Amino acid sequence: MVPGSAATIASGNEGLHEPVRLAYARALAHLRSVQHADGRVAGEVVWNPMLVSQYVMLRHILGRPIDGPRRARIRRSLECQVCDDGGWGMHPDSPSYLFHTVLGYVALRLLGYDGDDPLVAGARRWIAEHGGPYGLPQWGRIWLAMLGLYPWSGVHPIAPELWLLPQSAPLHPRRFYCHMRLIYLGLSFLYGHAFVHPSDARIAEIRSELFPEGDDPKRFAATRDDIAPTDLFEAPGAGLSAAFSLLRRVQTVTPAFVRRKALAKALEHINFELSSTNNVCLSPVNGLLFTLALFITDRNHPNLQAALDGIEYWVWEDEDEGMRICGARSDIWDTSFLIQALTEGPRCETSDTIVRDACHWLPKAQLREELPGGPRHFRAPTTGGWGFANEDHPWPVSDCTAEALEALLRAEVAGVSDSAGQLSRTDKLAAIEFVLLRQNDDGGFGSYESRRGSMALRRYNPAEIYGNCMLEYSYTECSGSCVRALAYALRVMGDQVPGELRQRTQAAVDRGVAFIGEREQPGGGWLGFWGINVTYGTLFASAGLVAAGVGTAAPQNTRAAKVLVGMQRRDGGWGEDWRGMVDETAVPLPKEARSLVVQTAWALLTLMEVAPHERLTIDRGIRFLVARQSTSGAWPSEPATGVFFNTAMLEYRLYRQIFPAWALARWQAKYQR
C-alpha cells in the first residue's frame, strides 16, 4: 500500500501528518525532476488544434512543405484531440465546433492524407451533417478565403482604414485589448489585400469535398450572416451589423490610394511587432497572420524565414501527442507560483535547491528597458514588468509582475535565495511602478495595459466564438494579485520605498480593495475570469484582501469561507464545470464526476488563509489530494481549469503539480507539529 493512500488516511485527523509529509516530499522530487537547468519550470498550456491547422495552411501558401516526421506528428496531435463524433472542439472537454473541424479537415488534406483516412472521413462526415462550411465564424472564413475555398465577399469587412483614424477616435484599434488589436492588425492587412493563393489540384479536391453541390454565389450571399449553432457564443449586435453594412458601402467608393496608405500603416505596425519581439509576437495567432503579411508584401521578403521560425517558439512536440502549438507559454507564471509555494512550506534541501535555482532565473526575465518606438505602436511602458512566458517575450502583464515580485521578495525574506537570485532596489521599485500603471479608474487592474476604450466597445465584438475580448477589463484575479504584491512589498521593503511612491502604492492598494469588495458575488465569493471559477476567483480576491489588512473575520472573508465549505464534495475535493465560464455563473461538476485536484488546492489555500479553524473541511480536502497523488509525486491528468474569453478552456499542465504541493506546504506550515 502506498503511504498516504486513501485507505491509510480514511478517517480522523490522527495520522494525517506523516502522509502529508511524505506526499510533500514526493511532490518536491517530482517538481525538481521537471525543473529546467536554468531554474525555471514551464508547463504546456493545452488548447485545441486551431493553431497547428493554420500552421499547415500557412506552410502550404508559402510553398514550404512540411517534412514527413512532422507531418506524422501533426496528424498524431489531431488524432489525440478528435471528438468521438469525428470533429474537433474549442478545448479538450468541449463538443465539436464547425470552426475547428473545418480547419482540421483542410489541414489533413493539405498534409496529403486521402479522403478515406479515418480522421479525414470522420471530419468530412461531421461537416456535412452540420450543413457544410457555410456557417463558419468569420475568422475561419478568412483562412478558407486565402486558399480560394470561400469568397471574400462572404467575410465581414475588416477595414485597414481604421489604422488611419485619429488616435482620439473611439474606434481606433489602439483602444482594443492588445490580443484583439494585433489580431485585427493582421486580419485587416489580409482583408485589405483580399489575398487568394493560386489554386492547385489538392485545393480543387478539397473544394469539391467541402462543397459537393458546387460553388453557389447565391448560397454564400444568403448565408453571409449565419454562424453555426455549434460555434456561436456572441452574435454581432445591431450596432456592429450596421457598421458592417456601412463599411461594405464605404469601401466601394474608397479611393485606392487611401487603401494603400492604410495597408502601409498596418504593415508598419506589423514590422514593429515582429522586430520588437524577435519574431515570436504577442501570440502565435498574430504571428501566423504577420508571416502571411510579409509573404503577401514580398514572396522573397528578407524577414520571411525569421517570422516563420518565430512560430517555433510556441511549439510543443513529442511522439506521444504529436505537434501542438500552444496559445501561450507560462514559464514566468508557473515559476513564480512555485517559488511562493515552496517558501511557505517546511525547509529541506530539495525545496531550497528548487527555490534557489528558480530565483536565479526569474530576475533575468524582468524587462529593464523600454521598447524603442513603443509609444508609436501603442505599447504601454514595459520597464519593470514580467510577462507570462519568459525572457524572450517582451509583453509584460500586471499579475505576472505582481506574482514574480512577491515570489522573489518571499524567497529573500525566507533566506532561501542568494544574491544572484535577488532583485536590486531599483528593479523592485520599477516593478511596483509597472503594476501601478495597470490600475484602471474603477480601482481594479487590467492585464497588459490599463483600459483605453469605452465599455461600449463590448457591443462591437466581431469574434462570434469568444466573449469579453474587445478591451481590457478590471479583473478580479489580476486585482487580487496586484493588491497582494503591492501590500507585501510595502510591508517588507519598508523605507526602501520612497515616501511619494509609498503614498501612491498605498492608495492603489486601498482602491484595489474597494474594487474587490464591489465584485463580490451576492452570496459570497468571487467569480473567475481566467480560471474555473469561484475557487479560482476567490483564491486571488481573498488573498489580496488579507494581504491588504482585511482580517479573516471580515464579512467578505467569512462569506467566502462559507461558500467554499458548502462547495466541498462527497469525496472531500472541489470541482467546478467549465460550462460555468460560458454562463458566467458557478456550475458544479456532475455528481458522478471525481473532484479536481487543482480546484481542490485552490479552495484549500483560501480556506487555510481566511478560515484556518475549518479543520474538518480542510483535512478532508488534504486527504483527497494525498490520495490522488501517484507514487512518482505527480498528480494525474484531469479536465482543464484555465480559461480565456468565456469559451476557451486551457489546461495548464503544471497547475496540477504546483497548487496541490502549495496546499500541502501551507497545511504543514499551519498545522504540523
Give residue 291's domain range: 48-229+240-325
What confidence category does residue 5 fall into, taking pLDDT thresholds of 50, 70 and 90?
very low
What confidence category does residue 13 fall into, taking pLDDT thresholds of 50, 70 and 90?
low
Check if the beta carbon of residue 121 is closer than 8 Å to that of residue 111. Answer: no
Counted domains in the chain: 2
Is residue 444 a part of any domain in this protein? no
**pLDDT > 90: percent of the chain:** 96
Is residue 115 a part of any domain in this protein? yes
Same domain, 7 and 104: no
What are the angstrom distances between the C-alpha of 67 and each of 70, 72, 443, 580? 6, 9, 52, 41
Helices (H) and strands (E) in the chain, counts: 25, 9
Show the DSSP H helices in 372-493 as ranges. 398-414, 425-436, 476-493
Length of the chain: 673
Check if the beta carbon of residue 580 is closer than 8 Å to that of residue 641. Answer: no
Report, as an integer, the average pLDDT of 583-601: 96
Q: What is the pLDDT of residue 9?
A: 41
Nearest 5 degrees, angle CA 480-CA 482-CA 486?
A: 120
DSSP state of 529: S
Is residue 566 a part of any domain in this protein? yes
CATH of the domain at 100: 1.50.10.20
Same domain, 155 and 260: yes
Report, as an integer, the average pLDDT of 429-435: 98
pTM of the model: 0.95
Q: What is the pLDDT of residue 2?
A: 38
Assess whether pLDDT exceeds 90 at residue 482: yes
* pLDDT one-digit tens code per residue, 56-74: 999 999 999 999 999 999 9
Same domain, 94 and 204: yes
Is residue 403 a part of any domain in this protein? no
Same domain, 130 and 258: yes
Q: What is the pLDDT of residue 673?
A: 65
What confidence category does residue 3 fall into, taking pLDDT thresholds of 50, 70 and 90?
very low
Q: What is the pLDDT of residue 15?
A: 86
Alpha carbons 254 and 512: distance in angstroms, whole number? 46
* pLDDT one-digit tens code per residue, 30-41: 999 999 999 999
Same domain, 180 and 59: yes
Point out the domain boundary residue: 325, 353, 385.
Answer: 325
Q: What is the pLDDT of residue 10?
A: 41
* pLDDT one-digit tens code per residue, 259-303: 999 999 999 999 999 999 999 999 999 999 999 999 999 999 999
Q: What is the pLDDT of residue 8?
A: 38
**pLDDT > 70: percent of the chain:** 98
Same domain, 30 and 82: no
Assess whether pLDDT exceeds 50 at residue 184: yes
Same domain, 636 and 666: yes
Is residue 481 a part of any domain in this protein? no
Is residue 436 a part of any domain in this protein? no
Q: What residues are paired with 396 via a beta bridge?
A: 387
Same domain, 28 and 54: no
Point out the domain boundary residue: 325, 341, 367.
Answer: 325
Is residue 84 a part of any domain in this protein? yes
Point out the domain boundary residue: 325, 358, 379.
Answer: 325
Assess whether pLDDT exceeds 80 at residue 258: yes
What confidence category does residue 92 fall into, taking pLDDT thresholds of 50, 70 and 90?
confident
C-alpha cell at 250: 464605404
Q: What is the pLDDT of residue 7?
A: 37
Same domain, 273 and 140: yes
Q: What is the pLDDT of residue 6?
A: 39
Select from 272, 262, 319, 320 the least CA-distant residue to 294.
272
Q: What is the pLDDT of residue 14?
A: 61
* Lowest mean per-residue pLDDT among 243-247, 319-323, 397-401: 243-247
Same domain, 7 and 150: no
Same domain, 129 and 23: no
Indicate the angle between helix axes 534-547 and 476-493, nearest 10 degrees: 30
What confidence category does residue 672 fall into, taking pLDDT thresholds of 50, 70 and 90?
confident
Alpha carbons 576 and 306: distance in angstroms, whole number? 42
Is residue 23 a part of any domain in this protein? yes
What mean pLDDT value characterizes the chain? 95
Report, as an integer, the average pLDDT of 186-213: 95
- Measure the N-to-C terminal CA separation of the chain; round to a whole number of Å: 25
Same domain, 5 and 149: no
Check if the beta carbon of residue 385 is closer than 8 Å to that of residue 401. Answer: yes
* Lowest mean per-residue pLDDT among 12-21, 265-274, 386-395, 556-565: 12-21
* pLDDT one-digit tens code per residue, 105-151: 999 999 999 999 999 999 999 999 999 999 999 999 999 999 999 99
What are the angstrom distances between the C-alpha of 80 and each of 92, 318, 319, 321? 10, 12, 11, 6
Assess whether pLDDT exceeds 90 at residue 216: no
Alpha carbons 242 and 17: distance in angstroms, whole number? 64
